[in-house]
Structure 1
């Protein structure tokens, strides 16, 4: 896979920008979204998830360490990707959620739905059964 980046339109505090870097892993890929994930900026992550799930990746690890904000649109995007992956016998996991994302996962109960790992290496070991 190649690196991909994108930006989105204006948010409440100025331009809402989200960049997404894609890195290959042995059994999948790591997506690193950086910035604010909301209604106006979700496009780049949506495209990266669609590309990853359209390929051979057994696991898509979404590294949430670079997210400074995530609203319900972002959460729904991640939940839908998880369901799509699961129906295809694949996994979407979350890695290293920022404090804001961790709190959102706790409040919404989504932390019980997603597999959440501290590192990409731990996610990869979990994906391979060890």
Structure 2
């Protein structure tokens, strides 16, 4: 599944595990709206979702806002969204803004999967 020419979203499902959405490319003003739409659709089908941000090449405030909105949407729907493997630039943004205390952030997908309990 592709969100636009610059940002790619690949969804991986594995029995007994939360759905994994792998995001590759820039998460910015131009790509964030499309990502929000796509991930919202995924959350309607799979309320437990891990966003793998290892491949995110850039993130601006629009991308940061989108991550927060998706997290809140998951919570409001009775689901759970976690973030795994954010690049250093995004980790700094999450820390400086205090979003790392709101949005569950893990260093790797495996660490995030462990928080969802046994498979």
| TM surpasses 0.5 | yes
> Which structure would you say has the larger RCO, counting Cα contacts within 8 Å and 6 or more residues apart?
2
Deviation at 1:129, TM superposition (A): 7.2
Kindly report which structure 2 residues correspond to 1:3-18, keeping only aligned pairs within 5 A, or say none.
Answer: 4-8=1-5, 17-18=6-7
Kindly report which structure 2 residues correspond to 1:1-130, keeping only aligned pairs within 5 A, or say none.
Answer: 4-8=1-5, 17-25=6-14, 26-55=16-45, 57-128=46-117
Cα RMSD after superposing both structures: 1.8
The unaligned stretches of length 5 or more in structure 1 are: 9-16
The unaligned stretches of length 5 or more in structure 2 are: none
Secondary structure at the aligned position of 2:90 is classed as helix
Deviation at 1:43, TM superposition (A): 3.7
Maintained 8 Å contact 2:84/2:106: yes
What TM-score, normalized by structure 2, do the two folds share? 0.88
Change (3 A) 1:128 1:34: same
Alpha-carbon distance between aligned partners in 1 of 2:23 and 2:77, rounded to the nearest angstrom: 23
Alpha-carbon distance between aligned partners in 2 of 1:19 and 1:77, rounded to the nearest angstrom: 15
Alpha-carbon distance between aligned partners in 1 of 2:32 and 2:100, rounded to the nearest angstrom: 20
What TM-score, normalized by structure 1, do the two folds share? 0.81
Deviation at 1:75, TM superposition (A): 1.0
Maintained 8 Å contact 1:63/1:94: yes
Aligned length: 118
Deviation at 1:28, TM superposition (A): 2.6
Q: Which runs of 4+ in 1 moved over 3 A?
A: none
